[in-house]
Structure 1
Amino acid sequence: MGRLLSPHRSKPNMTVSYSLEVANARFGGFSKLLFRWRGSIYRLLYKEFLLFCGIYAFFSMFYRFLLTPTQQELFERIALYCDQFTNTSFIPVSFVLGFYVTLAFNRWWGQYTSFPLPDNLMMAVSGNVHGFMTSHELKKFQSLHSDFNKYWIPLTWFANLASKARKEGRIRDDVALRLLMDELNNYRAKCSLLFHYDWISIPLVYTQVVTVAVYSFFGFCLIGRQFLNPEKGYKDHTVDMYVPVFTLLQFFFYSGWLKVGELIINPFGEDDDDFETNQLIDRNIQVSMLAVDDMYQNLPLAVKDKHWLQGNFSIPYTISTAAESLKPAFKGSTYNMTMSAEDFKMDQHVDGPLTTQHIPLRSYPSDAAENLPEGQGVLWRGSLPLLNDCSSSTDEEGCIHAYGNDVCVLSLGKCDDEVWSQREQEETMTQAAGENMSSQQAG
């Protein structure tokens, strides 16, 4: 893979990072970021902003000092006409601009996540594949003709070499070969996706629509937002402020929004916040060579750690975070929920065989079985994974079926011996039929 340094760039830019400055929410946290220049919207927009201010000042001076009264009246009519379009939703700048920047941002992040990293592949190879192309391989690569991009050819060589290595026994089993091929396919898929991001751009017509919408809006603002003579009594022109503060802010927001879309639509350029492609390539090569060459079979001595004989131990805390270890662990929002006896009352119409009711509860009176009305059921000290049918033992008074600390109360009045006898017969017949089928299959 070739280097991506531009001949006119003296040193590589670094992506602007401010994660440490916003690690904690505090008063004026974001305000400190407003005074940065590198990577800021000021650096990106100041030329367009100064141009807009200059053109606006020109029309203002032209209206005030160079026009005759008749010409001023005509200019004022034009200004009022333009102003009615800038103060309405006639030009949907917010809609088209917001949707465009969202689309560009998703594309920008998708390109970063598509950047192929060899980490998983190098871990799977573990010392048998080298990253640089030899001169012989380069000649072979150049001799292969294709009308399309040929980035996939070395990956095909890798797949063939992996298959050959498996036949020669240098790859221990098919599982390892499958792991290599899966990681290779993931790597190739990211290369392909990145290539398609470069090939397929956001439709040009959409970029043109957004640009024309923003520029035409502020083109009308240059005339329509002029301060007219307040003595003539025009609506909303009672004060002559000379400097259109809110119009300039509006230009800063909308044009800055458009500049953000322009910045992130292709993150492989030389803007302050573009991806550090060279650094990523250097990192990939260095980490790959370190993993497959220097670290191959170069393992640290395996020794018992200092907590080897300790059943329970705690990790060290700093003084400022020691109090965190005293806080109870979160066990669920309903972990300490209690319910009264009234909450257990349920309407259950029993027309068929015996059924069970399961209700999770952390604490329930020990005499629950004695006071349980007919047609209700309780799971005492239970949990959701233990909500299964109670099919263990039963007492004659309350039909209680116990599983250690978990108790299911079955209630249909008193336990009916005929019902239990019928269920036992059904289970016996089902078990016998299963054994008979197994024996037939074995025969």
Structure 2
Amino acid sequence: MTITYNLDVPHSHLKGVLSILFRWRGSVWKAVSFPLSCWLAGYYFVFCVYYFILRPYDRYIFDKVTNVLETRIDTYIPMTFILGFFVSSVLGRWQDTLKNMGWIDGTAVAVSTYIRGDDDETRAIRRTIIRYLVLCQTCVLRNVSVQVRRRFPTLEAIEAADILTPEERTLIEKTEDKYSQFWIPIVWVEEILYDARMKNKIASDFFVETIAKNIDIFRSQLQNLLKFDWVPIPLVYQQLVTFCVRLYFFICLFTRQIIKHDDQGLPESVLFWIPITTIIEFIVYM
């Protein structure tokens, strides 16, 4: 879910910077707080085992192994390349989804412009066309969005919202193919346009074509939403990114420890006990 923050940061002065940096809802801090807490718990568990349980020779072996891992981890796990491509793919899908939400404004303007008349029949034609388009959008979104599905769990709920009539609901329910149900209202709209042209409610074929093009764009946008929902980013790549990121920070549990296998004891400053650089890296990658 996208969190709106525009009004909190209208300017680039210090207050605006702090407002955007320390927001909690929808923020990076909320996203990484739990996994970071789990990672820190594991880090200090290894820390305690290293300093209080392992023998000097075991520490020496531990240091040798972690040195090899730390030297070669960036070569074996190219995090920058993997996450860069993955983030660009996810952001691209998010932008395409936003563009294909099914904006009805263009079609509504064309309908109100080219279907002229103040009589009851003409007004009913305009309203019915828009209602059918809203019905089509509702049927698609309830199969894509959990929030819309909760608002309209069944066709009866859509009927109760006056977007659908009982007769129309019966016709849709008779269609067994779920995919075809999405576009039945579009077919009804095309039939209404044809009848309106035959009755001279629309002045020319060019106007009919203009309205039909807007309707086809609207339908294509909704179709793209279904494609995004049905065909996610390939599972192999999802698994690769998830595996690499988790493996990288699992190795960091050992490689980012304060290496001290001599007899000098624990670090004097408490700041040395906090892996600040790794925490920053964890926030950025996660």
TM-score by length of 2: 0.76
- Unmatched 5+ residue regions in structure 2? 113-122, 132-162
Q: 2:102 aligns with which of 112, 116, 120?
A: 116
Q: Which residue of 2 aligns with 1:41?
A: 28
Deviations 1:361-417 (A, max 9, x none): xxxxxxxxxxxxxxxxxxxxxxxxxxxxxxxxxxxxxxxxxxxxxxxxxxxxxxxxx
Q: Which one has the largest radius of gyration?
A: 1
Contact 2:66 2:254 in 1 (8 A): yes
- Unmatched 5+ residue regions in structure 1? 1-12, 256-443
Q: 2:5 aligns with which of 18, 21, 28?
A: 18
User: Which letter maps to 2:44?
Assistant: A
Q: 1:155 aligns with which of 167, 173, 186?
A: 186
Q: Is the aligned partner of 1:30 residue 2:17?
A: yes
Shift of residue 149 of structure 1?
Answer: 4.6
User: Which letter maps to 1:207?
Assistant: Q
Q: Which residue of 1 aligns with 2:76?
A: 90
CA distance in 1: counterparts of 2:279 and 2:72, whole angstroms: 17
User: Which letter maps to 2:103?
Assistant: L
SS at 1:151's partner residue?
helix
Shift of residue 145 of structure 1?
Answer: 2.9
Q: Which residue of 2 aligns with 1:199?
A: 230
Deviations 1:119-153 (A, max 9, x none): 12222333323312211011111112326352111
TM-score by length of 1: 0.50
Q: Which residue of 1 aligns with 2:246?
A: 215
Q: 1:171 aligns with which of 191, 202, 222?
A: 202
CA distance in 2: counterparts of 1:149 and 1:232, whole angstroms: 75
CA distance in 2: counterparts of 1:186 and 1:155, whole angstroms: 12
User: Which letter maps to 1:34?
Assistant: L
Q: Which has the higher helix share?
A: 2
CA distance in 2: counterparts of 1:36 and 1:163, whole angstroms: 53
With over 3 angstroms needed to count, the CA separation of the structure-2 counterparts of 1:149 and 1:64, relative to structure 1, is farther
Shift of residue 231 of structure 1?
Answer: 3.4
- Higher RCO structure (Cα 8 Å, ≥6 apart): 2
CA distance in 2: counterparts of 1:194 and 1:166, whole angstroms: 31
User: Which letter maps to 1:119?
Assistant: D
Q: Is the aligned partner of 1:231 residue 2:262?
A: yes
Q: 1:74 aligns with which of 61, 67, 73?
A: 61
CA distance in 2: counterparts of 1:53 and 1:164, whole angstroms: 69
User: Which letter maps to 1:92?
Assistant: P
Q: Is the aligned partner of 1:63 residue 2:50?
A: yes
CA distance in 1: counterparts of 2:12 and 2:282, whole angstroms: 29
Contact 1:76 1:228 in 2 (8 A): yes
User: Which letter maps to 1:99?
Assistant: F
Shift of residue 209 of structure 1?
Answer: 1.0
Shift of residue 27 of structure 1?
Answer: 4.2
Deviations 1:211-257 (A, max 9, x none): 11111111111111111216379xxx9x99222111111111111xx
User: Which letter maps to 1:104?
Assistant: V
Q: Which residue of 2 aligns with 1:338?
A: none
Shift of residue 66 of structure 1?
Answer: 1.3
CA distance in 2: counterparts of 1:146 and 1:39, whole angstroms: 38
Q: 1:102 aligns with which of 67, 71, 88?
A: 88
Number of equivalent positions: 238
Contact 1:78 1:223 in 2 (8 A): no
CA distance in 2: counterparts of 1:144 and 1:39, whole angstroms: 41
Q: Is the aligned partner of 1:138 residue 2:125?
A: no
Q: Is the aligned partner of 1:54 residue 2:54?
A: no
CA distance in 2: counterparts of 1:125 and 1:209, whole angstroms: 49
State the Cα RMSD in Å. 2.4
CA distance in 1: counterparts of 2:178 and 2:167, whole angstroms: 22
CA distance in 1: counterparts of 2:222 and 2:180, whole angstroms: 11
CA distance in 1: counterparts of 2:208 and 2:197, whole angstroms: 7
CA distance in 2: counterparts of 1:205 and 1:99, whole angstroms: 14
SS at 1:124's partner residue?
helix
CA distance in 1: counterparts of 2:254 and 2:26, whole angstroms: 32
Q: Which residue of 1 aligns with 2:111?
A: 125
Shift of residue 25 of structure 1?
Answer: 2.8
CA distance in 2: counterparts of 1:80 and 1:201, whole angstroms: 39
Q: Equivalent pairs: percent with the same residue? A: 27
Shift of residue 23 of structure 1?
Answer: 3.1
